[in-house]
Amino acid sequence: MGAFGDIHLLEVFLSSTKANQSPGSPCRTADLILGQYLAFLKTTQGLADATLVLRRLHVKPFLLSLETTGGFIDLRGLAPSTIHDYIIATSKPLTRASRKHLVSGLRSFLRFAHANGLIERPLVHAVPVILTRKLDRLPQTISWEDVQKLLTMPDRATLIGKRDYAILRLVAAYGVRIGQAIHLRIRDIDWHQELIHFPAEKGCKVLCFPILPEVAEALLSYLRDRGEAPSIEEVFLTVRGAPRPLGLNNHLGSALKSYYRRAGLRATRCGAHPIRHAFATRLMERGIPIKDIADLLGHRSIETTFLYTKVDLERLRTLAAEWPEVKL
């Protein structure tokens, strides 16, 4: 189980750390401090489980870097230079999104530590500002023809192949994030009204689309083979052992890499996000207004959608051709 994939076990973890807590001692273990921090985020701030996973992912290594030889941490002696140097060294190999999560996670933890007396002075300002420009690169995408090729890779004679195909079909048909597809619930599919609903994720809006024939076929084929699971809300379940929902961090990473490889696709990012980009790029190439594309993708801000204007090469060439010449 990785990074609290089953986040409901957090309460069990917290109860065990509280049992070993020494309230009067400023020295505590990394697990104890982390448990208190995650409990604060969950019970006081009401953060989503996926956010707790990200916070743990970046805060725990930071705490472990502060451990003494005895395995304890005394945050009272934490210096601003230690925080600054750790982030600069750690952020170098990370992606733009991961750097954002790193600095926001450590700022959040430092606020918690100061508010709860673990550090004597606020150290949030010791976290350096790392520039993460959104429009400094082209989106990682594949062609629409490659998307169609990728859809043929899952073995639809097997249950796992039917599941993976249905998930990929949802992403390709509606341009949703793979998390929205993977965590689709039975009640999100309205067969009578022929509508499918996707919950909000990562700041995106709630989405509702008509059920396309190819989507209905993929879902029904999988659900017939999957069988009944009365106590489980999610559509897509594991296929090994007792059926259960896919974990919060399970985005079919290894399976998608295999499908990319078998399809002969060379992409720097072998996940579902290039399919979402291909969906948006296809709309852009068809002349769909960017505001409509933003609505279809669920973007709350149209600025997020501006990234796709960089792949509309035909329009960019037109702009370049029509730019007036300057006579000196």
Active site residue ranges: 177, 202, 273, 276, 299, 308
Cβ atoms within 10 Å, residue 6:
14
What φ, ψ does residue 105 adopt, rounded to 5°?
-65, -45
**What are the tokens at 131?**
């520039």
| For helices 49-65 and 30-43, angle between their N-to-C axes, nearest 10 degrees | 150
Cα(291)–Cα(306) distance, rounded to whole angstroms?
10
From 123, 5, 138, 132, select the one nearest 66 (Cα to Cα). Answer: 123
Q: Which residues pair with 234 in a beta bridge?
A: 185
Q: How far apart are CA 73 and CA 26, in angstroms?
A: 8
The residue behind tokens 């020295």 is 27
Sign of CA dihedral 201, 202, 208, 209: negative
Largest CA distance in the chain: 79
Among 292, 321, 319, CA closest to 308? 292
